[in-house]
Amino acid sequence: MRLREAVKILRSKNAGVWHITIDIVFKNRELYERAKTRLNRDYFCKLFIKKNIDYFECNYINTLKISFLRDSAAGSLNDTDCLGANCYIPLLDVEI
């Protein structure tokens, strides 16, 4: 099953000028538990090519949340996604 089929919400957004946050809200507990076996801090570090990612498991609401530093400040000349709204796209076809 692809991640896009298992979630109610999959979004990314700015978390200030220097950070991106991604919210992954699963349809139910079973899918959340299944995804946690594959999607962890190491997986996200490799996927987004980052040395450090803040990773949170929100068990009561079947949600994974990650945050990481942007490559450049939001709105700067090197910024390719000012709002951080497209950073979740590499997750759509992840198999869980």
22 forms beta bridges with: 12, 66
Q: Domain-by-domain residue ranges, the chain?
A: 3-73
> What does the mean pLDDT of the chain come to?
92
Cβ neighbours of residue 21 closer than 8 Å, sequence gap 6 or more? 12, 13, 14, 15, 65, 66, 67, 84
Query: pLDDT by residue (tens digit) across 59-79?
Result: 999 999 999 988 888 888 877
H or E stretch including 36?
helix 29-36
Query: Could you tell me where the beta strands, DSSP code E, fall in the chain?
Result: 7-14, 19-26, 54-58, 63-69
Of 26 and 14, more confident: 26
pLDDT band, very low/low/confident/very high, at 80 (cuts 50, 70, 90) = confident
Are 8 and 25 contacting, i.e. CB atoms less than 8 angstroms apart?
Answer: yes
